[in-house]
A and B are shown apart, each in its own frame.
Chain A
Amino acid sequence: MRYAMAIDTAKCVGCGDCVVACQTENNVPHGYCRDWIVESVSGSYPSVQIEIRSERCNHCDNAPCVRCCPTGASHIVEGGIVMVTHEECIGCGACIESCPYDARYAHPDGYVDKCTFCKHRVDKGQDPACVEVCPTHCLHFGDLDDPNSDVSKALKNRDWKVLAPEAGTKPQLYFLT
């Protein structure tokens, strides 16, 4: 089993609903977020293109945050989800520095926090909160080993890219282009 997410940049309007839904689902403190929106603009008027991406932890196969964690708080669970055990985290911040996606933040309560793919929901067969709320249906989640999962189907017929492939992290967020 390998959980992954595909983000359809052709449909994302950058509304930020994924960010608010994550905030209310996971009680993320105000001023912080586990997912966010990036807009990149290229070209010059009137030949301009924009790409809008909903980004979050890439739940990498080769996760530098896990390798550098001195206490083992950062770890990978079944399905490839990268988790942080808050009680074991000493807040040293090494993981924050090592992440090429800037996906982690120091929670005001003294530990490092980030996207969990809403493991508490996924374990019950639900989609992550961001996926379930997205008005444009641009987020697809599921098990890459299951050819009938939403994410497998989304990746099947579309071109995609990953972010910072040069970092060698084997990220599991796929951006449909």
Chain B
Amino acid sequence: MKSRRQFIKISAAGAGAAALGLHSLNVKGLSILGKEDDVGPVSDEEMTPYPTYCEVCFWKCAGWAYVDKKGKLRKIIGNKNDPHSNGRMCPRGTGGVGMYYDEDRLKQPLIRETGSDGKDYFRKASWDEALDKVADKMKEVAEKYGPEAFGLFNHGTPGGHLEHLLRAYGSETNAEPAFAQCRGPRSVAYYSTFGAYIGSPENTDIRDTNCLVLIGSHIGENMHNSQVQEMSEAIDKKATIITVDPRLSTAASKSKYWLPIKPSTDIALIMAWIHVLIYEDIYNKEFVDKYTFGFDLLKEHVKNMTPEWAYGITTIEPALIRKTAREMAGAAPAVVIHPGRHVVWYGDDTQRERAMAILTALLGAWGKRGSLYFAEKKSIPHFPQPEYPEPEWTWRDLNDGKYQLATMGVTTEILKASIPENNPKHQVRAWFVGGTNLPLSMPDKRLFSKAADSVEFIAVMDTMPMEITGYADVILPEATYLERYDFIRSAQNRVPNVALRMPAVEPKYDTKPGWWIAKQIGERLGLHEYFNYDDYAEVIDWQLKQIGTSLEEMKKIGVKEFPRESGPLYLAEGEDFEFNTNTGKIELYSTDLADLGFDPIPVFKPHPEPPPNYYRLIYGRAPMHTFSRTSNNHNLWDLMSENNVWINPKIADMWELKSGDFVWLKNQDDVVSDFPVKVRVTERIRWDSVYMVHGFGHSNKKLTRAFARGASDEDMITNVAIDPIMGGTGMRGNFVTFLKENPNKREEVES
């Protein structure tokens, strides 16, 4: 049966077709700027720098986009006054120019049509036509089902403009993969322990720490800029680094202690560390007595969780567990137990994060120099607008009583509510998607495909022909961050600060800024009061003036710091402090979790093991890419054009595989990868696991460089362990085996 929502892999109507020719020139070399401009370096003095903050990842580093006298964007350099970048962009920020110059960009609005042959294709459309179509559909959905039935999947600043539009329209049915597919468990765990979130950039005082503990966190491969810089500073200062990872990550290679743990057993290790701190009497007594609740219960709870007990589970030797626990105690309170970022692994992730938070508390490593500091952000007043209408139901109602501690929408619940067969209490009928490529960021592709197939309408706003655009009815091509005004960046840090993003260059092709797109739709829906400006610069200028600066000043400086208003960075010695929890204390024993019927203190529970000849699929980041977003960026593609599957030499021998061989992956549910992936035989990975960098294996041919390069780990993730506390999707319980012959031969790829 033909799917109603046929995924459009290629554009029959010619959009983007010209790009193929350019790609083939690559072997001969193609200057970034084109031959006529191949003039070598231009001195900074001959160029104009425009302030921006980066949108290649969520760290949002501020910098300067340098434009030469011919109006060509040449390079992006960090803003020295910016605490996210400290004047040094990461490779992705430096390579942001590649996002602007990408010849595969979405170039004009596109509308889905069905041809006489029954095949769907995209037709070029005018902005008016595309915007009318989206607005008409929003009106129709509101009239037929209520605006709540129009869901939103969003991320980053583009998603933010759409969120404003949808809220004004009356829908709060929104979710971003950044919660249930990423850091949600961390937010919930730290909030239930300390009554405070970790936030972003994380409030980790790595710069001044004596001991940095990384549990599965691979700083240096995750290129969260200032954090990587601070880890480097900590190395200079001879801080002890302890890394727990089944793979010798870059960070592990720079650590004094690497604990090559058996995957899925981290909770046992952390509980054993807690056991050692308590039973060797080396925890921070003063801190624990003054600030925590439930110590005696915790002490009883971990009584038998000895390093010997943990050894049988984790494969980490008891002596090493004791030694590392003592290292932490010796360095306390200047210890950072890094809470991690992408932490949805096994479905008990909130509990693992809780264990990390408890360990943090026992070390007194909270609110102290070198641990977790009190971050502050500058509050930006809202541009005058009416209150948002109150929706009759929101994303919360879709959880149907589950995931009570979820603080943001759960993506998978919106997907489930989009499928009528699930008899959802509230059915989601249409989607807006902005700044997130769901097919490569959501596990369980069957759920996604079914949901996409079920809804009446999908509008996608993006800069690139990501896979999600293949499911769209209307594609709205957004200008890149280098070509648009955007929200003022105000993120937490040691010192509150704001950063400006303004256009350095005119939008290429027929693309438009996200704010403009949202406004145009809003105006068509009669929501003018929410979009009461002609240019977003007016909003920014008004907001900046409220906080004592202006657009004019910010154009010159890019970043501005403000004095702290919330008090010092750290707790004073013996200071009284009321934590925002039920008990007013740091909850070693969580009263919230107890009330909801969850383990109030974490318990290690074993997870399924790989069947014979299958290996646990572990995935992570590469420093030069941001998931699937950057894989087609020419500058970054030059650094890494595909992912590999890392295999331990013992296993490779068994399979007679060597580095450079191609294999297809098959998972425990017999799902086979679309594309082959290159083998990397390396001692850096355990024998029971394989490792891949996430974000490759693009299936959209419009991404001419990234198409079919490497394999998508996400496709292999069909077994999802849901975190019952907050709805996170644990994705590390998938096992793959290798196929040496092409299993997809029958299905010729469309061309």
Contacts and interface: CB of A to CB of B under 8 A. Distances in A.
B689 to A, nearest CB: 11
Interface in A14-68: 14-17, 19-21, 23-27, 29-33, 41, 43-46, 48-50, 52
Nearest to A105: B29
B653 interface: no
Contact of B30 (A21, A30, A46, A137): A30
A7 interface: no
B635 interface: yes
Interface stretch (A87-95, A128-136, A164-172): A128-136
Contact of B229 (A20, A26, A132, A137): A137
A124 B258 CA distance: 44
Contact of A45 (B28, B232, B687): B687
Contacts of A124: 43
Given A30-B634, A31-B26, A134-B88, A13 B31 contact: no
B198 to A, nearest CB: 21
A137 B94 CA distance: 16
Contacts of B88: 17, 132-135
B684 A30 contact: no
Contacts of B236: 11
A41 B91 contact: no
A98 to B, nearest CB: 22
B220 A24 contact: no
Given A45-B260, A108-B28, A17 B254 contact: no
Contacts of A108: 28-29
B90 A15 contact: yes
A27 B90 CA distance: 18
A10 interface: yes
A109 interface: yes
A40 to B, nearest CB: 11
Contacts of A13: 220-221, 223, 228, 232, 250, 623
Nearest to A123: B43
A120 interface: yes
A172 B654 CA distance: 44
Contact of A30 (B32, B254, B640): B32
Contacts of B29: 29-32, 107-108
B95 interface: yes
A135 B88 CA distance: 6
B439 to A, nearest CB: 27
Interface string B686-706: 110000000000000000000
A135 B228 contact: yes
Contact of A46 (B250, B258, B682): B258
B378 to A, nearest CB: 25
A138 interface: yes
Contact of A14 (B77, B250, B260): B250
B506 interface: no
Given A15-B91, A108-B28, A48 B624 contact: no
B41 A135 contact: no
A26 B40 contact: yes
B27 interface: yes
B685 interface: yes
Interface string B384-408: 0000000000000000000000000
Nearest to B40: A27
Contacts of B231: 136
Given A20-B635, A30-B31, A43 B683 contact: yes
Interface string B225-239: 100110111011000
Contacts of B31: 27, 29-30
Given A19-B91, A24-B76, A30-B634, A136 B229 contact: yes
Contacts of A46: 248, 258, 260
Contacts of B233: 137
B74 interface: yes
Interface residues of A, number: 43
Interface hub of B95, B636, B685 (most chain A Cβ within 10 A): B95
B7 to A, nearest CB: 30
A27 B32 contact: yes
B41 A25 contact: yes
Interface hub of B26, B27, B41, B231 (most chain A Cβ within 10 A): B41
Contacts of B87: 132
B635 A23 contact: yes
A103 to B, nearest CB: 17
A49 B682 CA distance: 11
A13 B227 CA distance: 13
A58 to B, nearest CB: 21
A19 B98 CA distance: 14
Contacts of B95: 20, 24
A24 B225 contact: no
Given A15-B624, A29-B31, A48 B683 contact: yes
Interface hub of B74, B77, B685 (most chain A Cβ within 10 A): B77
Nearest to B636: A20
Interface in B545-579: none
Nearest to B42: A27
B749 interface: no
A7 to B, nearest CB: 13
A120 B44 CA distance: 11
B38 A135 contact: no
B32 A133 contact: no
B189 to A, nearest CB: 28
B223 A135 contact: yes
Contacts of A134: 88
Nearest to B258: A46
A46 B640 CA distance: 26
Contacts of A19: 91, 638-639
A135 B27 CA distance: 30
A50 to B, nearest CB: 4
A24 B26 CA distance: 17
* List of 9 A-B pairs having minimum Cβ-Cβ separation, nearest first: A13-B220, A108-B29, A15-B623, A29-B29, A136-B232, A24-B75, A17-B91, A46-B260, A16-B639
20 contacts: A15-B90, A15-B91, A15-B623, A16-B623, A17-B88, A20-B91, A20-B94, A20-B635, A29-B30, A30-B31, A30-B634, A41-B684, A44-B683, A45-B260, A45-B685, A50-B250, A132-B77, A133-B88, A135-B90, A136-B220
Interface of B: 26-33, 37-41, 43, 74-78, 87-91, 94-95, 97, 220-221, 223, 225, 228-229, 231-233, 235-236, 248, 250, 253-254, 258, 260, 623-624, 634-636, 638-640, 648-649, 682-687
Given A43-B683, A108-B28, 6 more contacts: A15-B223, A20-B636, A20-B638, A44-B683, A133-B89, A138-B232
